[in-house]
Structure 1
C-alpha cells in the first residue's frame, strides 16, 4: 500500500509572507500612534498660543473688564473692537464670546447673540478654567460651507478652541472666547510630521524585515546543509557496515574460486584454460569492487602527518603517466610553489587523487590534456586543481556527483567522489567541482597548511 509523503515545510516562504504582514501592521500601528501623538501635541501647542494671545489682547487694552461690567458702553465698544480684531486674524473662521452665565455676548454669526447655551459641555469645561480643544480634518464634504470660503486649499485641519478668559491677579474666569480656526502653518507642520513618520516607519520595517529574512535564510540554509550532511553520514555508516559484511562473506569464497581457476590453468588439458582465465578476470573485478568498499570503512583509522604536496603530486603523476600515454593523453604538473606541506594521510590523499585522475582520463578522448596545478590559495591554504579537457558535466548531474551510489557509468558504484570528499573534509579541507559541458571539468581541493 503506497504511503503518502509529507510535503516539505517551506520555512523561508512562510516566514517571508507572515513576517511581512506582521511587520507592516506593526509599522502602520506605530506610525499611526506617533503621528496622532505629534498632531495632538501640535494642536495643544497652537491652542495654548491662541489662549495667551487672546488673554494678552484683552488685558492690554482693558477691554476684559467688559465681561464683569457688561452695562458699560465704553468698555463694550473697546471689547467689541478687540474681538473684531481677533475675528479677522489669519486662519480664524468664526469667533464667539460667552459670559459667565453662558450667554453669547458677541459672534460672527449675529443671529446667535443673546442666546444662552446651557447644554454646551465644552463651554461648561472652559468656565471651569479648562482649555478645551477639538481638532479634525476638513473633508471635501464640509469644505463647501460658507465659513470655509476663501480658505487656502492646503489647509486640511480645523480647530475649535474654547479659551477661558481670566482676570489678572485673581485668575477668576469671567468669560469664554471660542475660536474656530483652520491654521495653514499647523497643517503643513502636521503633514511634514506625517511624512517623516511614514518614511521612518517604512525604512524601519524594511530594515527589520531584511535583517530577519537574512537570519532566517541563513538558518534555513544551515539546517538544510546539516540535514544533507546527516543523511550522508548515515549513508556512509551503512556503506561501511555493508563493506565489512561483503568482505567477510564474499572475499574468502572468491579466493577459493581463484585458486581453483589457477590450478585449472596449470593442468595439461587446454579445453578449460580459456574459461579459467575468464573466471580469474571476473574474480579480480569483484575483488576490486570489494577493495573500494573497504576503503570507505577504513577512512577513520588514518595516519595523519605533515606531507609535502608537491612531492606527493609528482608521485601521482608518475603512477598515472603510463595510463595516460596508452590513451595518447597528456598529463602535466604545474607547480606554483617549490614546497607545500599539509597535515594529511598521504595514502588516503593518493586514493583521492587516483580516483580524480582516473575519472579525468575516462572523461577525455584520446589526444587531450589534463593538468594538475598546485598553488597557495591563501597564507593558510594549499590548493590542488585537476583540470581536464573532456566533455564536461551537465548542471543536473553536477549537483549529485557527491551523493553516494550516484553514477553515470554502467559498471560504476558511485562511491569514488563521495569517498574522496569525505577524506578531504576529514583533513579539514574542502573539495569542489566546476564544470562546463563541452569545455571540461576542474576538481578543486583546498587543504590547510601544516
Structure 2
C-alpha cells in the first residue's frame, strides 16, 4: 500500500497545482459570516423593540392605575365631606381660592384638602408628589421646599395642561436642570413620572395637576425578569435559527462540492478515456508485432542477443499490461450489484498472493468474515482486494505484518480495515494517492487506487486511506451490507 519514489515529476507537479487551487467563492464561509450578521441584527432589533414595548406598556399600566386611584380618592373625599356637587377636589386644593368658595365652609374645605393630600403623601413607592395650579405654581408638595415655586419649561407639564390628558414617562437618571425633581430620597434605578389632571365639574377645565414620582420596586423587578426572559428567548431563537440554517447550508455546500468534484472527475475521465483509448488501441498492434518478431528471433538465436530479445519481450508484456490496466480503469462500470460473500472473496485474494507472501516473509492476520454478505460484483470486488493486497505486499519487501479486520459492523454497512507495517507515505503522497495517473512506484501506471475507489463507490461504499511514514498504511473499505 506504500508508494515508491516518484516516477513522473511533471505529472506530480501538475497534480499538485490542481490540488492547490481553491474555489474563488466559499459558500459556507460567506453564509456563516453574512447570516450571523443578519440574524444578530434582526435579533437585537427585535429585542430592543420588544424591550421598549414591555417597559412602555408596564409604565403606562402603572400610570393608569395611579391616575384612577388618585381621581377616585378625589371624588370620594369630596363626597365624604359633603361638598356641594358644584365643587371638585381640583378647585379646593389651591389655598389662594379659599375666599372664592363662600358656599363651602372653611373647615370643610380644609378637611377635604387634608384627607386628599394625606392619601397622596402615603402612596406606596412614592418618591415625590407635587400639585400644580393652572398658573404652574406648586401649591403643595411632599417636599416643602418646592411649595410656592413657579415651574417653567417643563414640556410634559405643559402637554398635560394643554391637551388635558394623563402624561407618563420613565427615567433612569435625575435631571438636575428640572427644578421640580428635588427628591428627599433619591431613586435607585428606574423611576416613573405621572401627570394626572383634575377637572372642574364640567370636565373641560383643568383646575389642578397632580405630579407623582414613583419607584415601583415590584414592577421594576417584574420588568427586569421579563426583559431577561425576552433576551434569553431572543438569543436562543437566533441561535436555533442560525444553527439550523447553517446545518442546511453546510449540507448543501457539501452536496454541491461532491457534485462539482464528480462532474470534474467525469469530464476528466471522458477526456482521458477518449485519449487513452486512442493511444491504447494504436499501441496494441505495434506491440503485438514487436512481440511476435522478438519471439521469432528468439527461436533462431541462442547467442549473446538472446538476453536482449528476452528484455524486449518482457518490456512489451509490461506495456501490454499497462494498456489493459488503462482500458480497464477507464471503462464504464455498469455491472449490477448482487449479494456477495465477503469471506470467500478476501480469502481467495490472499491465497492468490500466497507465493509473494511466503517470499517476503509477511505475517497475515485475517478476521472471521463468515456470514458477512455485501452488495457488489464478485469480479470487481476481487479486483479491489487484489489491488490493495498487492500494494501492501510491495510496501513490505523485507517482511512485516498484514491484517484484514472488521472495524465496524452496522445494519447498513460493514467496514473492513486492511493494514500493513510497511514504509508508509508522506502527507503529500497521501493527498495525491487517489489522483488519476499519480504514482510513486517504478513501473506503475497510477490507476490502481483510482479504480478501487470507483468500484467501491459504484456499489454505494466508501474508501478511506491513512498512513504514517515508517509505520505503515491502512485502508478502510466500507461496503453496503446485505441483511441475512
- C-alpha deviation, 1:249, in angstroms: 0.5
Unpaired stretches in structure 2, ≥5 consecutive residues = 1-20, 82-86
Q: Which one has more relative contact order, counting CA pairs under 8 Å at least 6 apart? A: 2
- C-alpha deviation, 1:31, in angstroms: 1.2
Q: Give the match for residue 184 of structure 2.
A: 150
Q: Distance in 1 between matches of 2:23 and 2:347?
A: 51
- C-alpha deviation, 1:397, in angstroms: 3.0
Structure 1 residues 343, 336: closer, same or farther in 2, change over 3 A? Answer: closer
Structure 1 residues 372, 254: closer, same or farther in 2, change over 3 A? Answer: same
Q: Give the match for residue 285 of structure 1.
A: 318
Q: Distance in 1 between matches of 2:68 and 2:404?
A: 90
Q: Are 1:274 and 2:311 an aligned pair?
A: no
Residue of 399, 403, 417 corresponding to 2:435: 403
Q: Give the match for residue 387 of structure 2.
A: 355
Structure 1 residues 145, 174: closer, same or farther in 2, change over 3 A? Answer: closer
Q: Are 1:229 and 2:262 an aligned pair?
A: yes
SS in 2 for 1:335: coil
Which moves more between the two structures, 353-362 or 270-279?
A: 270-279
- C-alpha deviation, 1:37, in angstroms: 1.1
Does the 8 Å contact 2:276/2:326 carry over to 1?
yes
Q: Give the match for residue 135 of structure 1.
A: 169
Q: Give the match for residue 393 of structure 1.
A: 425
- Give CA-to-partner distance per residue, 1:160-194, whole Å, 9 cap, x none: 32234576xx8776634322313232443333333
Q: Give the match for residue 28 of structure 1.
A: 44
Q: Give the match for residue 415 of structure 1.
A: 447
Q: Are 1:162 and 2:199 an aligned pair?
A: no
Q: Are 1:50 and 2:66 an aligned pair?
A: yes
Structure 1 residues 241, 6: closer, same or farther in 2, change over 3 A? Answer: same
Does the 8 Å contact 2:88/2:200 carry over to 1?
no
Unpaired stretches in structure 1, ≥5 consecutive residues = none
SS in 2 for 1:392: coil
Q: Are 1:328 and 2:327 an aligned pair?
A: no
Structure 1 residues 65, 330: closer, same or farther in 2, change over 3 A? Answer: closer
Q: Distance in 1 between matches of 2:131 and 2:150?
A: 9
- C-alpha deviation, 1:335, in angstroms: 1.8
Q: Are 1:202 and 2:241 an aligned pair?
A: no
Q: Give the match for residue 77 of structure 2.
A: 61
Q: Distance in 2 between matches of 1:398 and 1:143?
A: 76
Number of residue equivalences: 436
Q: Are 1:441 and 2:446 an aligned pair?
A: no
After superposing on structure 2, the runs of 4+ consecutive aligned residues of structure 1 that deviate more than 6 Å are 143-146, 170-174
Does the 8 Å contact 2:174/2:181 carry over to 1?
no
Does the 8 Å contact 2:196/2:210 carry over to 1?
yes
Q: Distance in 2 between matches of 1:383 and 1:297?
A: 26
Which moves more between the two structures, 394-403 or 259-268?
A: 394-403
Q: Distance in 2 between matches of 1:376 and 1:58?
A: 84
Q: Distance in 2 between matches of 1:195 and 1:219?
A: 36
SS in 1 for 2:269: helix
Q: Are 1:12 and 2:28 an aligned pair?
A: yes
How is 1:77-156 mapped onto 2 (pairs within 5 angstroms)? Answer: 77-85=110-118, 86-87=120-121, 89=123, 90-98=125-133, 106-108=139-141, 109-112=146-149, 120-126=158-164, 130=165, 132-139=166-173, 142=176, 147-156=181-190
- C-alpha deviation, 1:81, in angstroms: 0.9
Structure 1 residues 87, 95: closer, same or farther in 2, change over 3 A? Answer: farther
Structure 1 residues 92, 83: closer, same or farther in 2, change over 3 A? Answer: farther
Structure 1 residues 143, 199: closer, same or farther in 2, change over 3 A? Answer: farther
Structure 1 residues 20, 166: closer, same or farther in 2, change over 3 A? Answer: farther
Given the two structures, how large is their TM-score scaled by the length of structure 2?
0.80
Structure 1 residues 333, 114: closer, same or farther in 2, change over 3 A? Answer: closer
SS in 2 for 1:399: helix
Q: Distance in 2 between matches of 1:270 and 1:334?
A: 53
Which moves more between the two structures, 23-32 or 252-261?
A: 23-32
Does the 8 Å contact 2:406/2:414 carry over to 1?
yes
Structure 1 residues 362, 94: closer, same or farther in 2, change over 3 A? Answer: same
SS in 2 for 1:424: helix
- Give CA-to-partner distance per residue, 1:135-155, whole Å, 9 cap, x none: 132326539967343334423
- Give CA-to-partner distance per residue, 1:305-347, whole Å, 9 cap, x none: 433222222211111010121222233433242x333342222
SS in 1 for 2:367: strand
